[in-house]
Structure formats: structure tokens, C-alpha cells
Amino acid sequence: MVAPARFWGGRSSVWLVRMKPSAGATATCAALALCAVGCGGEKKEGDRKVETGPKPAASPEQFTERFAQLTGVRLSRSLDDLVGTRLEVPAEPNRFARLGTYSLVWTRDRADRREVLRGARRPGARGIRWTRSGSTWSAGKSYGRHLVLDWSAGSKRRTNPQFNRLERAVRAAYLGRPGLLPPRERPCRRDPLRDRGEACSLRGVPVTVARGNSALATPAFEATVRKTEVRPALKPKLLPPETASGRFVIVDYRLRTKTLIRSLTPQLRIGKRTFEEAPASVFLARSRLFPLPPAAAYNARVAFDVPRAEAAQVRRRGALVLPAEIDELGDPSAELAQGWIALDR
């Protein structure tokens, strides 16, 4: 029997397949389309049970498909050069905030791999080979006989959370084992608003959902939604009405800060679409101006101009999206992680 399910994420959705092995052994296998991630289980050879499992990527195409499923970054093949195939990072999405600056090469053989790593020191901790060009350090690491990662460390010879996230993703994609990632970095199997399990990753960005009257807790603040309205227009005092191209979805929310917050950019998610705050939000009340000091209370109403069809679904499929992780400058960043507050209340 085959029971299909999906990793949820729009165009990059992939099918899951549940298989029942022979000899009565039951195994659940997560297999991505075109063998994108791989699966494990058992097979029987004669009277022996032989463990099977995911196999390392056998081609640059297979690796790039797996990498896209885990990170949301769809690498492209550049023209082959003397040492193999260079896998280029696109302009968008590049997940720079999460992964930093890096390059990947799929070499033709071990000799080419050694050529790519020429000049690098012997591998040290975690198999990292350090090289220096002028004032810039680079961390190189190889995976199997073909794949080489080169990550820019900047002026200091050390790794950071960006490298750690990237290295985990490259290793899991190459080996075909997304289970090696922390739960919050594994691809969502369905719409996070419908999944009542742990946090998961949507196109490479971890998402945590708060439901009902629960507060969304992040390193920078706690947030709750108090009310959601749908209106055709806003009517500021002493000014002409502001009419929506579709409908204004107005979300009334409250923050309690834990640290200094210089700015905050809320978004609205309905189904698979994300909407930015409408300019007309300037006419809505806010309790105070940014920056917000630690331990401050902040109440705000924000408006989003949404097509009528989506506005009609906001209380069933909508969420207020807030940045849920602090970047290296100390500001909340939705590129690092997101918190969704469900509007089905």
C-alpha cells in the first residue's frame, strides 16, 4: 500500500511515501520526489534481513534538489570548469542571514577535490580546512568524494551559528538524512497552522505557531493578538477615507519586550501567501514609538491590504507573522526564524 502525504511549502512540496516491506516488517520511509532525500527500512535476502538506508547524493542534481528542500535555496549549475560543477547561490532566496556567504563545488573525482582544497591546511576540528586570502578566512569541508563546501568566515578564523546551520544542511542533504537536523530545521510536512506538533522549517526558515490565547514567546519579546477585523476602508480623522484594493485585515496585537527593539516588521500569512503591512497602517493607533526599551508594553494595530478571497479566509487560515530570532546586530529577524500567531480565535 502507498499512502501519499506532502512536505508543505508551495512549489517546493515533495511527496512522502509510506511503504509496507515484505516479510511482515513495517517501516515508514520519507522519500522525496526524484529520490531527493532518501529513505530507510529493511529488505530480505534469503533468510537474512539486511538494513537499508538513504544513500549519499550521486549527482549534483540530486544534491541540489535535497538542499532546496531543506533550505529553500535552489542552487543552479554554472558552466562546468576544470575541477567539476560549481553550484551557484541565487540572488533570492539566498538565506544569507541564516547561512552566510558560501560556495559549493561538485568535483569530478578525488583528484579534483584535492585541487579545490589546494592550499588549505590539514583538516582540524569537525573536518574543517582553513585558508586565508589577504585578511579573509575561509572554512572548507569536503563530503564524500565529490562535494566541497567553502564558507567565508570574514576577518576571524572561527565558525559561527551561520556556519553551523549551513554545515548541518549540507551534510543532511548530501547524506539524504533530514533527520540529522534539529526538529525545528526539518521541513514542515504540512501547513504549520494545521500541524499541531513541534516547530518545523518552511522553505528553510524555522516557524513556531502560537494558537488560541497562547502568547508567542521569542528571545526578544512575548506577543499576543487581541482582535482581528476585516474592513473595506479606513476612516482617519479629518482626512478622506483610505479604501483597500481588496479588504483591509486589521490585527490588534500586544508586545512585552525582553530586550531593546529598534524596529519590528509584522506580516500577514493567509494560506500560502504572505502580505506586507499596508501604508495605511500609519492611521492606526500605536501606544508608543520605536525603539522599545526592555520590559516595555507595546500595543499596536496594523493593516494589510488583502484580496477579498483571502480576506474571507483570514480567521480560518490566517496568522500574524513576527520575527522570532535575534540577528548579530541584536534586532529581531524574520529571515532567521518566524513566529506565527494563529488568528482562528
- pLDDT (tens, 9 = 90+) of the chain, 345 residues, equals 444 444 444 433 333 333 344 444 433 333 344 344 555 544 555 555 544 678 999 999 999 999 999 999 999 988 667 788 999 999 999 999 999 999 999 998 877 787 777 766 678 889 999 999 999 999 999 999 899 999 999 999 999 999 999 999 999 999 999 999 999 999 999 899 887 667 899 999 999 999 878 899 999 999 999 999 999 999 998 899 999 999 999 999 999 999 999 999 999 999 999 999 999 999 999 999 999 999 999 999 999 999 999 999 999 999 999 999 999 889 999 999 999 999 986
**Maximum alpha-carbon separation in the chain:** 85
The pLDDT assigned to 125 comes to: 86
The pLDDT assigned to 121 comes to: 65
The label of the residue with cell 554554472 reads 78
Taken as a whole, the chain contains a residue count of 345
* Spatial CA neighbour of 70 closest among 147, 175, 221: 175
d(CA 206, CA 338): 6
The pLDDT assigned to 3 comes to: 46
The label of the residue with cell 512540496 reads 13
The pLDDT assigned to 44 comes to: 52
The pLDDT assigned to 11 comes to: 39
DSSP conformational letter for 144: T
* Spatial CA neighbour of 269 closest among 205, 193, 171, 157: 193
Q: Which residues contact 306 (CB under 8 A, 6 or more apart)?
A: 244, 246, 247, 248, 249, 268, 270, 275, 314
The pLDDT assigned to 113 comes to: 80
Helices (H), the chain: 60-71, 96-99, 110-116, 161-175, 308-311, 314-317
Q: 92: how many CB neighbours lie within 10 A of its CB?
A: 7
The pLDDT assigned to 43 comes to: 53
The pLDDT assigned to 196 comes to: 65
The pLDDT assigned to 47 comes to: 56
Residue 75 · residue 87 · CB < 8 Å: yes
d(CA 163, CA 153): 8
